[in-house]
Amino acid sequence: MHVENLIDLNREEKVLYYLRRHWIIFFADLLMIIVLMAVPVGVFFMLNAILPNLLIGELTRPALLLLGSAYYLIIWLFFITSFVDYYLDAWVVTSDRIVNVEQRGLFARTISELDLARVQDVTSEVNGVLPSIFNYGNVYVQTAGQVERFDFEQIARPHDIRKHLLELIEQDQKRKAAEGIVKI
Amino acid sequence: MISFPFAVILLPYGLTVLFFALMATINVFHLIHYGATTGISFIITFLFLAGAVFILFFTWQELQAVNWNHMITLGLPTVGASSF
């Protein structure tokens, strides 16, 4: 996703992180899709063993074929919808702000921006077996803005992101304090 | 007694295909509209469209030999006077 589609970068502003959910989240959806796609194959073998006449009947065979085709189309649609939902969720961290892009289903999208100066607290967590093995988890950014908390969900290296965010916030505060002194 | 051609079962299937086409278009439009035009999204979109074409082509191929004009009759059997 191109950042310029989301925000207008200031002259000296740099994009430092472009974060998405860990790839394993989409992979889990993919595994479920593969299992669902195997269901008609299982049904085929079952019917072949129990009611083979259904598979060769003049009317039943096309009916089953159409049913199977419709089923696969719906599962395949679920695949692309899962990907779009996964891919369009993003968190952008620049030298000035944090942008939270949340795609909720197909017809709801929320974009929130937060100036680094309004960040009050940053917390990271990694919970569970798979998150510990693959090092992904959540980062919670407590704010003084309208949106009380920004949640970076299921991102890679959350503890590193937290540390770097805190460094960025400190640098941003020092820079703004220095600019404040210069203006006076 | 109701009689209808076997082709009637194509109607719900056709609706499913229409729904699929509409939602697929919306999904791909979303990716393009929100600038998610990266290599990965291109590959996934390509795989998705290729898979859809495969499913539809395979279905069409398998249904070539079907006699869609075959009449299906539904209803209770009638008992005529000659039965007694």
User: A119 and A137 in one domain?
Assistant: yes
The residue of chain B nearest to residue A79, with distances taken between CA atoms, is B48
User: A109 and A173 in one domain?
Assistant: yes
User: A67 and A103 in one domain?
Assistant: no
pLDDT band at A183 (very low <50, low <70, confident <90, very high): very low
**Residue A121 CA: distances (Å) to CA of A115, A138, A141:** 13, 14, 6
Q: What's the pTM value of the predicted model, to 2 decimals?
A: 0.83
Question: ipTM of this model?
Answer: 0.85
User: A110 and A31 in one domain?
Assistant: no
- Taking only residues 1 to 60 of chain B, the set having a beta carbon closer than 8 angstroms to any beta carbon of chain A reads 6, 9-10, 12-13, 16-17, 20, 23-24, 26-28, 30-31, 34-38, 40-41, 44-45, 48, 51-52, 55-56, 58-59
User: A131 and A158 in one domain?
Assistant: yes
User: A179 and A132 in one domain?
Assistant: yes
Nearest Cα neighbor of A166 from A142, A130, A182 is A142
Question: What is the structure's pLDDT at A184?
Answer: 39
Q: Is the distance from CB of A53 to CB of B50 less than 8 angstroms?
A: no
pLDDT tens digits for range B42-84: 899 999 999 999 999 999 999 998 888 888 887 766 665 554 4
pLDDT tens digits for range A84-131: 989 888 999 998 889 988 888 778 888 888 888 888 899 999 999 999
**Domains contained in chain A, number:** 2
Size (chain B), residues? 84
CATH of the domain at A151: 2.30.29
Q: Give the residue from A65, A85, A105 where a domain finishes.
A: A85
Give the pLDDT mean for A25-38: 95
User: A106 and A149 in one domain?
Assistant: yes
Q: Report the distance separating Cα A90 and Cα B38, nearest Å.
A: 14
User: A77 and A53 in one domain?
Assistant: yes
**Could B31 and A84 be called an inter-chain contact, meaning their C-beta atoms sit closer than 8 Å?**
yes
**Could A79 and B48 be called an inter-chain contact, meaning their C-beta atoms sit closer than 8 Å?**
yes
- Written as six digits, the tokens of B22 are 């509409």
User: A131 and A49 in one domain?
Assistant: no
User: A178 and A94 in one domain?
Assistant: yes
User: A106 and A18 in one domain?
Assistant: yes
For residue A45, what are the domain limits? 27-85
**What distance in Å separates residue B73's CA from the closest CA in chain A?**
12
**What distance in Å separates residue A157's CA from the closest CA in chain B?**
21
Q: Is the distance from CB of A104 to CB of A120 less than 8 angstroms?
A: no
Give the pLDDT mean for B27-37: 82
User: A128 and A40 in one domain?
Assistant: no
pLDDT tens digits for range A9-28: 777 888 898 899 999 999 99
